């Protein structure tokens, strides 16, 4: 089996297809290649010093091997450099991850090495995609120092093979704020494991979301605060000492600061509480105290404050709900939704308080509250072929309509319709779409002549919450990118989805990370699957829809459905 990074990068280039390896019968099969826990103890490795009389090629090989020192340290690699190069070399600038090393090219005193199936991360640990062929060739200049070959010029990068990378780096999130301050937004990174994990998380968080995220997310942590000077974890308390000052911060932003730190540092299982200082002086955040729990900030949950993961469905055009446990009945909701309205493709908001559905002719939208006095009304939408809608936490109802010119993206809020041009989506043949609850990510499946593609765009909003523009959609890697025909997509976390495709009599499930980083979770069901039901909430089961049964492809949990039930979905 090809390593996960290699497979995904090959998919981007449309060079391979994994279809031939998918069985057409048999039980659930699962391949899990995700990185281990951040606090997992790693086997120490102390690379050796340069061998006397080593050739230029051997010196380069030794230099690359020395970057695998465990615990992570660049001191071993610097022994292969001249004194000047050891001072100038800046491996923190980026990380290059490769599947295999190619053969050496060139002659003394210059050595070039080609990285096969390579991708890269920036200085914050953000995945930036695959390397172009020209970028995957690393050039090393060598010179003699005291009679031995040493590297006098090396690329400013940590260069490691993917197996080592997945063992020594943890998939993590930095938590920023959507423009209105309503919710936190997770931004995926890879962070080195070990004792510096908490420091890396805070340093990356303080570096900010980057210019490309302007209007999508912001940070409540002030730009005037530098550092961290240190993040020491003692007896479960992370002492976060920043340099500089907080500047003029509102009470709301100070609370958001605490939430950003709490959500980001809770990923380090050794951290239970946080104590924030500026130049050693304690900082007391409103509502948090001098030390505060990493469980604080629940009101800014990217998934919303409701912990429920109830299922909803249509029964004869009326809306019903169930907890999803075996034997739990499907009961009508309150209000007008309890009656039949001849609708399809229902969507319930994250709070479970409002629902919307597409009319049978797919030209209109019906909306109403799930309350005893809830009444239904027609949204001000005149569509042609509307897809299943989606809600975000700002109570924006997202819609995609398709006509002869392709897809049009819009949302309904405050009784009015707002059109949003999404480059790479608008005008395309969109078959499925999702909007993240935090309102910052738009995911779509676009049908192609030979293969579908999955794309993601970031939504930009004003401080008052009106979506103004969207970034150009980028195609997400998939091992079967050359031939895939997507049946359905669903959330599995705020930053990942699952894509389902049918191959023969087998349903293939592939986890897709919305930052474009390769994901290794892949499993199959030898059942006829027509759709998938998922949620970004961690406690929610992932269900495949097969006939009158919901199948959990991971835990072998089956939920029988009444034969008159359709359009099963989670709230949110």
Distances (CA, A) of 419 to 128, 204, 426: 30, 35, 10
Supply 454's token pair.
């999955």
User: What letter does residue 154 receive in the DSSP assignment?
Assistant: -
Supply 284's token pair.
């007391």
Percentage of the chain lying above the pLDDT 90 cut = 71
- Over residues 39-81, the pLDDT tens digits come to 566 889 999 999 999 999 999 999 999 999 999 999 999 999 9
- With vertex at residue 517, the alpha carbon angle to CA 512 and CA 523, rounded to the nearest 5 degrees, is 35
Do the domain assignments include residue 183?
yes
Could you tell me the pTM of the whole model? 0.90
Of 15-29, 42-56, 206-220, 385-399, least confident by mean pLDDT is 15-29
**DSSP H or E run through 163:** helix 162-168
Q: Which of 156, 185, 205 is the last residue of a domain?
A: 156
Please tell me which residue, 210 or 373, carries the higher pLDDT value: 373
Given a contact cutoff of 8 angstroms between Cβ atoms, the answer to whether 461 and 178 are in contact is: yes
Handedness of CA 142, 145, 149, 150 (dihedral sign): negative
Question: Does one domain contain both 524 and 378?
Answer: yes
Supply 443's token pair.
């995911």
Do the domain assignments include residue 280?
yes
pLDDT at residue 289 in the model: 84
Query: Stretch 549-571: mean pLDDT, rounded?
Result: 89
- Cα 71 from chain centroid (whole Å): 27
Question: Does one domain contain both 65 and 205?
Answer: no
Given a contact cutoff of 8 angstroms between Cβ atoms, the answer to whether 461 and 439 are in contact is: yes
pLDDT at residue 39 in the model: 58
User: Distance between terminal CA atoms of the chain?
Assistant: 37
Do the domain assignments include residue 23?
no
Do the domain assignments include residue 24?
no
Query: Stretch 454-481: mean pLDDT, rounded?
Result: 93
pLDDT at residue 323 in the model: 87
Do the domain assignments include residue 326?
yes
User: What total number of domains does the chain contain?
Assistant: 3
- Give 375's contacts (C-beta < 8 A, 6+ positions apart): 335, 336, 368, 369
Do the domain assignments include residue 216?
yes
Please tell me which residue, 436 or 556, carries the higher pLDDT value: 436
Mean pLDDT rounded to a whole number for the chain: 89
Residue 74: which CATH number? 3.10.450
What whole-number distance in Å separates Cα of residue 503 and Cα of residue 240? 51
- With vertex at residue 184, the alpha carbon angle to CA 181 and CA 186, rounded to the nearest 5 degrees, is 145
User: What letter does residue 304 receive in the DSSP assignment?
Assistant: -
Q: Which of 251, 272, 300 is the last residue of a domain?
A: 300
Question: Does one domain contain both 502 and 365?
Answer: yes
Query: Stretch 164-185: mean pLDDT, rounded?
Result: 95
Do the domain assignments include residue 13?
no
Question: Does one domain contain both 349 and 230?
Answer: no
Could you list the residue range(s) of the whole structural domain that residue 348 is in? Answer: 311-570
Given a contact cutoff of 8 angstroms between Cβ atoms, the answer to whether 169 and 37 are in contact is: no
Question: Does one domain contain both 546 and 566?
Answer: yes
- Over residues 262-308, the pLDDT tens digits come to 999 999 999 999 999 888 889 888 888 889 999 999 999 999 998 78
Say what angle helices 251-265 and 197-206 make with each other, to 10 degrees: 140
Question: Percent helix, strand and coil across the chain, each rounded to 5?
Answer: 15, 40, 45
Smallest CA-to-CA distance from 171 within 191, 186, 199 is with 191
Residue 316: which CATH number? 2.120.10.30
- Over residues 373-408, the pLDDT tens digits come to 999 999 999 999 999 999 999 999 999 999 999 999
Question: Does one domain contain both 349 and 292?
Answer: no
Query: Stretch 83-92: mean pLDDT, rounded?
Result: 97
What whole-number distance in Å separates Cα of residue 405 and Cα of residue 407? 7
**DSSP H or E run through 355:** strand 354-359
Smallest CA-to-CA distance from 322 within 514, 98, 570 is with 570
What whole-number distance in Å separates Cα of residue 138 and Cα of residue 113? 5
SS3 282: strand
pLDDT at residue 278 in the model: 85
Supply 159's token pair.
């260069």
pLDDT at 24 over 50: no
User: What letter does residue 87 receive in the DSSP assignment?
Assistant: H
Question: Does one domain contain both 86 and 134?
Answer: yes
Pairing outcome for strands 397-403 and 406-413: antiparallel
pLDDT at residue 11 in the model: 42
User: What letter does residue 386 receive in the DSSP assignment?
Assistant: B
Q: Which of 300, 321, 352 is the last residue of a domain?
A: 300
101 dihedral zone (left: phi>0; alpha: psi -120 to 50; beta): beta
Question: Does one domain contain both 192 and 106?
Answer: no
What whole-number distance in Å separates Cα of residue 74 and Cα of residue 156? 12
Question: Does one domain contain both 293 and 315?
Answer: no
Question: Does one domain contain both 272 and 335?
Answer: no
pLDDT at residue 41 in the model: 67
Question: Does one domain contain both 490 and 375?
Answer: yes
Percentage of the chain lying above the pLDDT 70 cut = 91
What whole-number distance in Å separates Cα of residue 261 and Cα of residue 281? 17
Do the domain assignments include residue 192?
yes
Distances (CA, A) of 231 to 75, 194, 195, 242, 395: 22, 13, 10, 9, 38
Question: Does one domain contain both 491 and 388?
Answer: yes
């Amino acid at each position: 089996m090809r390593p996960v990074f290699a497979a995904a990068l090959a998919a981007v280039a449309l060079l391979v297809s994994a279809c031939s390896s998918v069985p057409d019968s048999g039980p659930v099969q699962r391949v899990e290649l995700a990185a281990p826990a951040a606090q997992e103890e790693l086997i120490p490795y102390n690379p050796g010093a340069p061998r006397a009389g080593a050739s230029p090629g051997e010196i380069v090989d030794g230099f690359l091997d020395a970057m695998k020192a465990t615990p992570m340290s660049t001191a071993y690699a610097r022994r292969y450099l001249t004194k000047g190069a050891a001072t100038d070399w800046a491996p923190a600038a980026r990380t290059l991850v490769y599947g295999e090393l190619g053969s050496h090219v060139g002659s003394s005193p210059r050595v070039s090495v080609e990285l096969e199936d390579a991708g890269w991360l920036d200085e914050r640990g953000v995945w930036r995609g695959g390397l172009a062929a020209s970028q995957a060739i690393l050039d090393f200049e060598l010179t003699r120092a005291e009679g031995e070959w040493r590297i006098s010029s090396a690329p400013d990068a940590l260069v490691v093979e993917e197996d080592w990378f997945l063992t020594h780096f943890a998939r993590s999130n930095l938590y920023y704020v959507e423009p209105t301050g309503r919710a936190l937004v997770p931004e995926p990174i890879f962070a080195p494991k070990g004792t510096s994990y908490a420091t890396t998380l805070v340093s990356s968080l303080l570096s900010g979301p980057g210019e490309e995220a302007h209007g999508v997310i912001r940070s409540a942590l002030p730009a005037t605060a530098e550092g961290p000077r240190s993040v020491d974890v003692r007896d479960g308390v992370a002492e976060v000492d920043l340099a500089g000052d907080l500047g003029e911060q509102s009470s709301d932003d100070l609370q958001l600061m605490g939430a950003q730190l709490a959500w980001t540092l809770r990923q380090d299982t050794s951290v239970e509480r946080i104590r924030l200082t500026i130049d050693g002086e304690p900082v007391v955040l409103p509502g948090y105290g001098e030390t505060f729990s990493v469980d604080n900030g629940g009101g800014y949950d990217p998934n919303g404050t409701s912990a429920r993961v109830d299922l909803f469905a249509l029964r004869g055009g009326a809306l019903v709900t169930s907890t999803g446990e075996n034997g739990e009945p499907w009961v009508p909701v309150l209000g007008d939704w309890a009656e039949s309205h001849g609708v399809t493709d229902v969507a319930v908001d994250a709070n479970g308080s409002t629902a919307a559905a597409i009319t049978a002719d797919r030209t209109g939208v019906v909306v109403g509250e799930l309350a005893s006095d809830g009444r239904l009304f027609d949204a001000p939408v005149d569509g042609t072929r509307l897809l299943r809608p989606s809600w975000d936490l700002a109570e924006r109802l997202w819609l995609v309509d398709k006509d002869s010119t392709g897809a049009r993206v819009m949302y309904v809020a405050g009784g009015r319709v707002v059109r949003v041009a999404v480059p790479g989506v608008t005008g395309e043949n969109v078959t499925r779409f999702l909007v993240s609850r935090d309102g910052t990510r738009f995911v779509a499946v676009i049908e192609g002549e030979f293969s579908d593609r999955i794309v993601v765009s970031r939504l930009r909003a004003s401080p008052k919450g009106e979506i103004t523009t969207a970034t150009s959609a980028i195609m997400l890697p998939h091992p079967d990118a050359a031939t895939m025909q997507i049946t359905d997509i669903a959330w599995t976390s705020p930053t990942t989805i699952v894509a389902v495709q049918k191959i023969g009599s087998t349903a293939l499930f592939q986890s897709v990370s919305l930052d474009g980083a390769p994901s290794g979770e892949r499993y199959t069901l030898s059942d006829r699957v027509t759709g998938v039901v998922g949620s970004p909430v961690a406690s929610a089961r992932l269900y495949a829809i097969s006939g009158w049964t919901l199948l959990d492809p991971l835990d072998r949990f089956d939920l029988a459905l009444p034969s008159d039930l359709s359009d099963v979905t989670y709230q949110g």
